[in-house]
Amino acid sequence: MIRYLTAGESHGKGLVTIVEGFPSNVPIDLEKINLQMKRRQSGYGRGGRMKIETDKAEIISGIRFNKTLGSPISMFVVNRDWENWTDIMSHEKTNKRIEKITVPRPGHADLVGSSKYNFNDIRNSIERSSARETAARVAAGSIARLFLEEFGISVGSYVENIGGIYSKEKYSDYLLMNKTSEDFKAWTLSEKADLSPVRVLDEEQEKKIIRKIKAAKKKGDTLGGTFYVVATGLPVGLGTFMHFDRKLDAAIAGAMMGINAVKAVEFGTGFNAADAFGSESHDEIIKSDAGFGRKTNRAGGVEGGTTTGLPIIVRAAMKPIATLMSPIETVDLASMKSVLARRERSDFVAVPACAVIGESVLAWEIAKFFLDKFGGDSIEETRDNYNNYTRKLNNRLIKNFKKK
């Protein structure tokens, strides 16, 4: 079983990730981890903080000569901005006058955090609830990605819409219709999205979105959007229907909802399946060279909580960022008077970053279920188990059902 923990405040010294349970000898390329860290920081519409930070994961333990040791892997991501916050974020009591934050932003964890933890300064909630923590999650997800790469599993994403601006072309249809041509492959779509500052696949749409972000910024407003996260190269049989908490899609949905500001998640045709006939909703099974194939992938790669071997297709929605430069109504907890919410530096749009974080959490959940199934103290052992299972899978099934 793999697990990870993150620690760190947004304006503290930095973020810590501890990843535990990976087998030994997994090749680790720090540059690849840092590429993911950089991708998370990108996107048109981000705030001033991203100009200050150059996120990089420093390895503290668990890796030697570019390979995992099987021991806990710990990583540190420095907050460069901390230098400007040493008094406000001091671990020790300070004599300096530190302004207390008393005005909660609707949509952020400010009010619930202060109620629940009995704080008298909203800063105490802001610091951990900030999406800055997702940098530590991407560091963990990057280790999972490197592990999955060894088995030919890759994860990618693209943004479907920001602020209600969609492409005329419905790229998700290619995925759901199980198009196998190179141009429609999930990975090709993701690489294309990487070239866009808003991670979309359509130039016209990109222009419109950038215009809308500029307009939102001018108004002091923010925007949300939807994105697709996909994984390819999966074996049949990760996850199970045997118990609710062993279903892969349930775990993925939980991890996606755990990303800051994500309000909805769907698999395959998702909500649309509720409006269609059964005959339009399922993936017909056909014979293929490999044994079986599917005409379509409307299930999004999971049936009965278990991978079908087809790409995993997850769509998620991110609400607009809660910090508004033209704020909405709230209550000042110090005066108990109605006021406008506090302004503070933030992003205007973070949907492209959210998609990259989505890739990371998806990679993590897949790696977790993969290792639950195949185990192994070294990656060589994992590979033997994986090869043994996948090689025999279809033959075994066909033999089982063969009439004697």
What residue ranges bind ligand EPS (CB under 6 A)?
A: 10, 47, 49, 81, 108, 130-132, 134-135, 321-323, 345-347, 350
- Nearest approach in angstroms of CB 225 to ligand EPS is 14
Residue 146 or residue 261: which is nearer to ligand EPS going by CB?
261
Closer residue to ligand EPS, CB minimum distance, 137 or 294: 137
Compute the least distance from the CB of residue 174 to ligand EPS, in Å: 30
Q: Which amino acid is at 355?
A: A
Q: How far apart are CA 185 and CA 203, in angstroms?
A: 19
Handedness of CA 192, 193, 196, 197 (dihedral sign): negative
Q: What is the dihedral of CA 190, 192, 196, 199, to 10 degrees?
A: -20
SS3 category, 143: helix
Amino acid type, 15: L
Q: What's the min distance (Å) between Cβ of 302 and ligand EPS?
A: 29
| CA atoms of 9 and 89, how far apart (whole Å) | 9
Quick one: which of 146, 143, 108, 124 has its CA closest to 6?
A: 143
Q: Which is nearer to ligand EPS, 129 or 154 (CB)?
A: 129
Cβ distance to ligand EPS smaller for residue 307 or 323 = 323
Residue 357 CB, nearest distance to ligand EPS (Å)? 9
Shortest distance in whole angstroms from residue 99 CB to ligand EPS: 16
Cβ of residue 38: shortest distance to ligand EPS, in angstroms? 12
Q: Report the alpha-carbon distance of residue 359 to residue 230 in Å, rounded.
A: 8
CB-wise, 12 or 23, nearer to ligand EPS?
12
Using the minimum distance from each CB to ligand EPS, give the nearer residue, 101 or 135: 135
Count Cβ neighbours within 10 Å for each residue of 363-378 and write b for 16 or more, e otherwise: bbbbbbbbbbbbebee
Q: How far is the CB of 261 from ligand EPS (least distance, A)?
A: 7
C-alpha span between 59 and 74 (Å, rounded): 6
Burial class (CB in 10 A: 0-12, 13-18, 19+), 68: buried
What is the end-to-end Cα distance of the chain in Å, rounded? Answer: 40
Distance CA(398)–CA(404), nearest Å, equals: 12
Q: Which is nearer to ligand EPS, 139 or 234 (CB)?
A: 139
CB atoms within 10 A of CB 235: 17
Q: Specify the residue, 154 or 260, whose C-beta has the smaller distance to ligand EPS.
A: 260
CB of 347 to ligand EPS, least distance (A): 5
